[in-house]
A = this chain, B = another copy of it.
Amino acid sequence: VDVKEEIMADAPPREARTRNPRGYGDRLRDDAIAAAEDLLSEHPVEALSLRAVARAAGVSAPALYPHFAGRRALVWAVLEHRFDVLTAQTAQAAAQFTQPRERLRAWCLTYCHFGLAHPGHYRLLFESWSAECVDVPLTDLPGYELRSGLLALIAACASCADDVEELGTLIWAGLHGLVSLRINKPSFPWPPLETLLDALLTRMTPASPLTT
């Protein structure tokens, strides 16, 4: 609820950074994104200041401007990077199985684990105002590829009678609800995640029971 709980300015002065060699200035861009992701583990995105990222990267604030047009652009770059990572992780998890139902389960489990392991990142990806996306075409939305991956796996599990868009929305909503509520209401007595996930998938696609 409160932003200023822990001041982000309290970071250590950071060990002396050696400036990048000539021609490798772009490395700072990746360093800044990594530093921002570190900070996001502890603080909500609204508290992610450009100055704090610069501090964490061991650099002065104006040094970021050649790499990011401003604070918005920095946050956007972080968001895109985390979506790429999550998309890759879930796809890789699914790829380790061949049976459709196992593939779907692996995807969902990895999605949930990502959220619970990195609540700050999850909140950035799925719980931040996205008013800035209004005029982006659907396929360019951050998260579009992730959603497509899930829908494809669901389609492979669904019976003919199912509306895949509807079923996909329900399952995604279920996953998101499980992760988001757990993150945001940690004090409630939540049953184990895997139990809930299996119950969710069983009830959502009863045609193919969840067995190996």
User: Do residues B44 and A187 form an inter-chain contact, with CB atoms below 8 A?
Assistant: no
Tallying the copies of this chain within the complex gives 2
Check A104 for interface membership: any CB of B closer than 8 A: no
What is the chain B residue whose CB lies nearest that of A195?
B166
User: Do residues A138 and B47 form an inter-chain contact, with CB atoms below 8 A?
Assistant: no
Tally of A interface residues using CB under 8 Å: 58
What chain B residues lie within 8 Å of A200 (beta carbons)?
170, 173
Q: Which of A59-73 contact B (CB under 8 A)?
A: 71-72
Check A156 for interface membership: any CB of B closer than 8 A: no
Check A209 for interface membership: any CB of B closer than 8 A: no
A-side interface mostly: helix
User: Do residues A189 and B203 form an inter-chain contact, with CB atoms below 8 A?
Assistant: no
Identify the stretch in A9-17, A29-37, A88-96, A121-129 within 8 Å (CB) of chain B at 4 or more residues. A121-129
What chain B residues lie within 8 Å of A188 (beta carbons)?
138, 141, 147
Q: How close is A180's CB to chain B, nearest CB, in angstroms?
A: 6
User: Do residues A47 and B44 form an inter-chain contact, with CB atoms below 8 A?
Assistant: no
User: Do residues A189 and B165 form an inter-chain contact, with CB atoms below 8 A?
Assistant: yes
Q: How close is A149's CB to chain B, nearest CB, in angstroms?
A: 14
What chain B residues lie within 8 Å of A2 (beta carbons)?
71-72, 75, 129, 132
For the complex, what is the distance from the CA of A81 to the CA of B199, rounded to whole Å? 34
Q: Which of A1-54 contact B (CB under 8 A)?
A: 1-3, 5, 44-47
A residues with CB within 8 A of B = 1-3, 5, 44-47, 71-72, 75-76, 79, 123-124, 126-134, 136, 138, 141, 143, 147, 163, 165-166, 169-170, 172-178, 180-181, 184-191, 195-196, 199-200, 203-204, 206
Can you report 16 residue pairs joining A to B where beta carbons are below 8 Å apart?
A1-B79, A1-B129, A2-B75, A46-B46, A130-B185, A134-B186, A141-B185, A165-B189, A166-B191, A166-B196, A173-B200, A175-B177, A176-B176, A177-B180, A180-B180, A203-B204
